[in-house]
């Protein structure tokens, strides 16, 4: 009996790890090529629904509401108001009582009682039966790739800043219909989101695809990236959809360069690989140039910084951007080479090649960076990859 109980617990734990934490097969984000994002609200309708609808209408934004059956039946007027405003309505199950879902017959009733093409489990919780029931009911399991964390007792300003930091093209954002904090968060984040060039839309318009195992692994690793950023005080050089660098201020580790010994203050460059992963080489070069301009702005603001640098096997390609290169000692070269191979597979799905060049350091001194990329403030956000520079003659602006 103990062994059976242990096996059942293991099965439930593995199901939650595979299908909730990683999200294999779930609809968790859209294409990374366009700055569309989907704002999704769980747990409604609520006493805040009308205020949320007014806020969205004020900014001309459409969203997706995942409603619970018992609350929807209690407030049909709010359900009708959501639909009348042009928002998408989907299924969040009958109740919001996660422990009931551990009983298969209760989970079936929970999932089957309300209509919807997409179903989002409470808290994203998965049992061994969730995906089977969804398939039998003809529903797609919708998760997310960005949590707003609007359930935490944190200042709305702090939550808005975090949301804008991690928002990416194609993101599905998890929000909640109920907390006052969600309204305050969106009052700050939504205008800035639009100013940066993001286009909030419905889940149907975003058209997400189910996560492959590789994309699910990327989703699962996002928390580790966030912890690294917080620990090392990594910031983004620009918050636009296609600003491609994060920067980490630290003592330069070497190797020594002319006039730049180890230990001088420097910015290490971290590539925003998820923003790059679907771009063509031409698009990537164009956007990397623009992003280095944003790095130059941060360098101009910090008189201590003497250089910017990064380690990659693509360092020689950085010459197109005006970057210089430097050979690395054996151990740093080995570590950088292994890291580059891992990220190449993770974000591009490409396996290492025998003739791949060794990892090197790409860098520019402060003076060289500011001369090549004079800091400036763009008048408007850059267009997304592949977008026309002017609208079609009869299309909307």
- Give the catalytic positions in this structure: 42, 176
For the packed helices 180-196 and 49-58, what is the interaxial angle rounded to 10 degrees? 10
- CA distance linking residue 30 with residue 37, whole number of Å: 8
Whole-angstrom CA distances from 124 to 94, 96, 230, 235 are 14, 11, 25, 29
> What are φ and ψ of residue 271, in 5° steps?
-80, 135
- CA distance linking residue 182 with residue 160, whole number of Å: 10
Q: What is the DSSP letter of 128?
A: T
Residue indicated by tokens 């989970």? 107
Contact 155, 132 (CB under 8 A): no
Reduced to 3 states (helix: H, G, I; strand: E, B; else coil), residue 118 is strand
Provide the CA 79 distance to its chain's centre, in angstroms. Answer: 29
- Looking at the DSSP bridge assignments, the partners of residue 245 are 271
């Amino acid at each position: 009996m103990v062994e059976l109980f242990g096996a059942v617990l293991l099965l439930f734990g593995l199901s939650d790890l595979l299908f909730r934490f990683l999200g294999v097969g779930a609809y968790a984000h859209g294409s990374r090529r366009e700055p569309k994002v989907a704002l999704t609200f769980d747990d409604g309708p609520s006493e805040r629904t009308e205020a949320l609808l007014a806020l969205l209408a004020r900014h001309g934004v459409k969203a997706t509401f995942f409603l619970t059956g018992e609350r929807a039946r209690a407030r049909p007027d709010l359900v009708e108001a959501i639909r009348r405003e042009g928002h998408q309505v989907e299924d969040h199950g009958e109740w919001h009582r996660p422990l009931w879902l551990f009983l298969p017959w209760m989970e079936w009733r929970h999932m089957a009682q309300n209509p919807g093409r997409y179903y989002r489990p409470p808290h994203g919780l998965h049992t061994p039966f969730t995906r089977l029931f969804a398939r039998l009911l003809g529903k797609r399991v919708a998760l997310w790739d960005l949590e707003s964390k609007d359930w935490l007792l944190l200042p709305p300003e702090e939550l808005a800043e975090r949301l804008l930091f991690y928002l990416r093209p194609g993101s599905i954002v998890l929000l909640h219909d109920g907390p006052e904090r969600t309204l305050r968060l969106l009052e700050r984040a939504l205008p800035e989101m639009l100013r940066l060039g993001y286009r909030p839309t419905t889940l149907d318009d975003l058209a997400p695809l189910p996560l492959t195992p590789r994309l699910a692994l990327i989703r699962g690793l996002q928390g580790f990236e966030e912890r690294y950023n917080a620990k090392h005080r990594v910031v983004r050089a620009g918050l636009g959809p296609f600003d491609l660098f994060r920067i980490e201020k630290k003592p330069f580790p070497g190797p020594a360069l002319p006039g730049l010994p180890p230990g001088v203050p420097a910015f290490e460059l971290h590539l925003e690989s998820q923003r790059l992963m679907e771009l063509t080489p031409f698009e990537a070069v164009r956007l990397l140039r623009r992003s280095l301009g944003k790095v130059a702005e941060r360098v101009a603001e910090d008189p201590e910084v003497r250089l910017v640098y990064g380690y990659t096997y693509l360092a020689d390609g950085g010459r197109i951007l005006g970057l210089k290169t430097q050979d690395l000692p054996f151990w740093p070269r080995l570590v950088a080479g292994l890291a580059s191979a891992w990220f190449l597979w993770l974000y591009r799905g490409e396996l290492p090649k025998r003739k791949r060049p060794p990892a090197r350091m790409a860098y520019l001194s402060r003076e060289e960076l500011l001369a090549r990329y004079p800091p400036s403030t763009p008048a408007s956000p850059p267009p997304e990859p592949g977008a026309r520079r002017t609208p079609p003659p009869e299309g909307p602006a």
